[in-house]
Amino acid sequence: MDHTRDILEQVRDGGVSVEDALLQLKRAPYDDLGYAKVDLHRSLRQGAAEVIYGAGKTTEQIAGIVASMRGHGERTILITRLAPESAAALRETLPLTYHEAARLGIVGTMPKPDGIGRIVVATGGTSDIPVAEEAALTAEALGNEVVRLYDVGVAGLHRLLAHADELMSATVIIAVAGMEGALASVVGGLADCPVIAVPTSVGYGASFGGVSALLSMLNSCAAGVSVVNIDNGFGAGFLAGRINHIGK
């Protein structure tokens, strides 16, 4: 998006001819690296650049994809599920900020928040924070203001109710919880905004690696609650960011 905007602004200011601008825009909408076809028009279609899924990729592959994206004007690049050893290697040549708990790397600068409101990310417990941080950082990288409410689960409901003002003023709420996943229903019954529930794989044996929380959230009796996959903080943060930019 930034690269295309720069071209259009240069045309407006007379720095680039219409013909040259058309030539640049007609180039292949992806960069074929052999091991990856980098989607260069993702931001034009969806308003946000392609996000790199780090798991299963070599450090060299990640570096190549990042180089392609930076070469085409992307200023903020997300790398999810990035291993610490890969992050250490990438930091030798890239301006990478690594968030180990979330296993998320960010290359470049973070944008200023320009959404219509605030996104609240709440967790049932401290053990849910890694998934919540993936959601929060993803939303921030997409230009959203994020408020974190951690360890406010139903085992001590007064902790959540103490933050009623933040919940009531949110544009979107992301509820992250394992065990029985009840937090999403409670939040959904308090707030008048969309609630995105994220089940986590936190819990004892009968939680079945997050399946119990997933089913609880899918069966929520609170209206306005949607659910993403187990441990999918990225998906929740991305969706919340889109909702928070509707009408922008």
Same domain for 135 and 81, yes or no, is no
- Residue 225 domain-assigned (yes or no): yes
For the sheet containing 52-53, what is the strand order? 52-53, 76-80, 104-108, 96-99
- Do 135 and 225 share a domain, yes or no? yes
- Using a pLDDT cut of 90, give the percent of the chain over it: 72
Distance, C-alpha 108 to centroid of its chain:
16
**The pLDDT value given to residue 72:** 82
The residue ranges of DSSP E strands in the chain, in sequence order, are 30-32, 37-39, 52-53, 76-80, 96-99, 104-108, 118-123, 145-149, 172-177, 195-199, 225-227
Is 233 found in the same domain as 151?
yes
DSSP state of 205: G
* CATH code for the domain of 216: 3.40.50.1970
The answer to whether residues 237 and 126 belong to one domain is yes
pLDDT of residue 133: 98
Burial of 29 (0-12, 13-18, 19+ CB in 10 A): middle
Domain boundary among 75, 108, 141: 108
Kindly tell me if the per-residue pLDDT of 2 is higher than 80.
no
* 134 plus 229 within the same structural domain: yes
Residue 58 in any domain: the answer is: yes
Query: Tell me: the pLDDT tens digits for 5-59?
Result: 777 788 788 877 887 776 666 666 887 889 998 888 787 777 788 899 999 999 9
Distance, in Å, from the CA atom of 124 to the CA atom of 154, rounded to the nearest integer, reads 7
Strand 225-227 versus strand 37-39 pairing type: unpaired
Domain that holds residue 237: 118-243
- The pLDDT assigned to 13 comes to 82
**pLDDT value of residue 25:** 64
How long is the chain? 248
pLDDT of the residue at 98: 97
Number of domains in the chain: 2
- Clarify whether residues 122 and 221 are in a common domain: yes
Contact 218, 185 (CB under 8 A): no
Is the model's pLDDT at 179 over the cut of 70?
yes
CA distance 67 to 161: 46
**DSSP designation for 148:** E
The three-class DSSP label of residue 119 is strand
101 in the same domain as 82:
yes
Same domain, 217 and 199: yes
Arithmetic mean of pLDDT, 146-155 = 94
Of 108, 132, 155, at which residue does a domain stop?
108
pLDDT in tens, 193-236: 999 999 999 999 999 999 999 999 999 999 999 999 999 999 99
Q: Are residues 233 and 134 in the same domain?
A: yes
Same-domain status, 152 and 104: no
Residue 113 lies in a domain: no
Q: In the predicted model, what is the mean pLDDT of residues 152-176?
A: 93
**Pair 185, 127 in one domain:** yes
- pLDDT of residue 116 exceeding 80: yes
Using the Cα atoms of residue 197, residue 234, residue 238 and residue 41 in order, give the sign of their dihedral: negative
Residue type, 190: L
Mean pLDDT of 67-71: 90
Is residue 11 within 8 Å of 39, Cβ to Cβ?
A: no
Residue finishing a domain among 80, 108, 136: 108
